[in-house]
């Protein structure tokens, strides 16, 4: 997680005009999968779910439904789409993306802030995938399952 924080920080230092730091950080944290052999697959599923959530959020911006109704409708719609796309393991990522896109401050240009947040979500997803890929493919991090039967059998046998 610490590496994700620093990666987002250094990316935002160079692209602060186009990327909103807190939203990128949230997306990185949601995409990262620090353990398990299926970490890259889980990260990809979370990215797909983030993109579903971001798409639903942008679509609801066109509808101009008032808050908090837009978030409730967006959450329901995004979860339905994730279920249809078999992305249930990444459902929390889609909810976070919907909320990130639909939250906005009053008096701020709705579309420019939404596009900045979409960029933040996509940046966070890409950085999270890159970090997961580096640590699980290149460094071949292997973690033992907490309740693994193999160590128990070795002690008994």
The whole-number pLDDT of residue 144 equals: 45
The predicted model scores a pTM of: 0.69
Q: How far, in Å, CA of 91 to CA of 135, rounded?
A: 24
pLDDT score for 147: 46
pLDDT along the chain (157 residues), means of 10: 64 64 75 69 85 90 83 93 91 86 70 78 82 73 48 52
């Amino acid at each position: 997680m610490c590496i994700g924080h620093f990666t987002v920080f250094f990316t935002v230092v160079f692209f602060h005009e186009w990327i909103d730091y807190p939203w990128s950080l949230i997306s990185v944290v949601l995409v990262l999968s620090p353990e398990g052999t299926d970490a890259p697959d889980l990260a990809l599923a979370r990215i797909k779910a983030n993109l579903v959530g971001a798409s639903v959020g942008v679509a609801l911006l066109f509808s101009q439904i008032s808050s908090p109704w837009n978030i409730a409708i967006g959450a329901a719609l995004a979860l339905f789409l994730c279920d249809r796309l078999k992305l249930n393991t990444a459902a929390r990522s889609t909810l976070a993306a919907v909320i990130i896109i639909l939250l906005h401050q009053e008096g701020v240009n709705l579309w420019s802030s939404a596009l900045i947040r979409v960029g933040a979500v996509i940046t966070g997803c890409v950085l999270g995938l890159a970090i997961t890929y580096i640590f699980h493919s290149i460094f071949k991090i292997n973690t033992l399952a907490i309740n693994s039967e193999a160590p128990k059998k070795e002690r008994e046998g």
